[in-house]
Amino acid sequence: MALKNLGDLPVLPLPESFALTAAYNEDSFPNKVNLGQGVYRDNNCQPWVLPSVRKAEETLHNQQVNHEYLPIAGDSKFLTKARDLLFSPEIGSSENITSLQTIAGTGANHLAAIFCARNLHPKNVFISDPTWDNHHLIWEVAAPNVTRKLYPYYEPSTRGLNFEGMLAELENSAEENDVVILHACAHNPTGIDPTKEQWKKIAEVVGRKKLFVVFDCAYQGFASGDTDADAWAIRYFYSTLFAESSSLTPAGMFVCQSLSKNFGLYGERIGALHLVTPSSNSPEGAKAHLVQFVRAEISCPSLFGARIVQTVLDDAELRSKWQEDVRIMALRIKGVRTLLKLELEKLGTPGDWSHIEQQIGMFSFTGLSSAQVQELKEKHHIYMLSNGRMSLSGLNESNVAYVAQAIRDVL
């Protein structure tokens, strides 16, 4: 039914993470702590421009490059480097992989949802419970006729992975051509990833039931500090399910790759979408449809971030420096995990806090209730998502004892 008055439209709330950041910025309390926003911060809790990125910026400045339009599909040299980083140079050159540049990982997820809804017509899309909240909004907006179903992922009693529940849901409910969204590494929000043996079992179910996989790879390098290790699941799925000799071939696979986070290029919104088709299928027709979607939405992608990534990955010395930058970020996050766990234990905080150290990546699913999170904000000026997700980059040696004491106080 058409609206008679635009004023009748309800006011929608800001996404929680953005609303939290706005509230944090307005808070004048001197010891406030932002554990809500999923961005890396240095040991002073300040934005960090990666030294490798700064050097690439200087290189580009000295080259006096222009600012012309890119092709609709994006910069081909950037896409080659991004694809090789994700799949490896040996796999990346395969003819059944096609790539487009996107507006970060969000744009890649949105393109994937539109393509799947309009061309595959799946009955369901399976999304982990919990997940990055934007997965739900993207599919609600881009594919309203596809039913969103949750598969179990987090087990509160163990604060670990509910692997049996996850497999059982896919086995019992997923139908051929349905879509399943998987986090490649550093699961958001839980920080819990399947083991290699568990990934193998997931791949077997996906291939046997002929599902369509959408891998969301937002944190390559952030999980372990090793970009190759963090791409293991994607490479395993490719080599096992899409080899010519495979008897378990899924409907296809998208990989949504963000390069905003592991290069610290948040505002440049740089990413890529990679489509993998079974070896018997050419990806050219699918790529043409994806290009049409890009043309309708943004005409062509952004240039500067792509140039930075290409410049870094194309130069052996810069690439080595960038890999060290990524390790520095990952090691700092691991370090504050240990500090927080030790502080909580020193205070005699009720419960077992080993999960904080065992989880991986930017986030920890603390196990705190929404009421406890609200109390942390109101009484201690500590900001985190209501589901208990903590962004660990907001911690450092100066505030970790304060945060631990505040958690102890609300329990």
Report the catalytic residues: 132, 216, 261
How many whole angstroms from its chain centre is CA 165? 22
| Structure-block tokens of residue 379 | 């009484």
Phi, psi angles (nearest 5°) of residue 370: -65, -35
The beta strands (E) that lie in 260-384 are given as 270-276, 363-365, 382-383
Which residue type, as a one-letter code, is found at position 316?
A
Q: How many CA atoms lie within 13 A of 21 on its CB side?
A: 9
Peptide bond into 130 cis (omega under 30): yes
Q: Mapping DSSP to helix (H, G, I), strand (E, B) and coil, where does residue 54 land?
A: helix
Q: The tokens 């635009």 sit on which residue?
A: 6
Residue 306 token pair? 């792509």
CB 218 within 8 A of CB 70: no
On whether the CB atoms of residues 95 and 103 are closer than 8 A, the answer is no
The strand pairing partners of 181, in sequence order, are 214
- Integer angstrom CA distances of residue 159 from 127, 144, 303, 360: 19, 32, 42, 13
Beta bridge partners, 213, equal: 180, 253
CB distance 271 to 257 below 8 Å: yes
The residue behind tokens 């291939």 is: 207
Q: Between 51-63 and 304-314, two packed helices, what is the crossing angle to 10 degrees?
A: 110
Provide the pairing of β-strand 179-183 with 212-217.
parallel
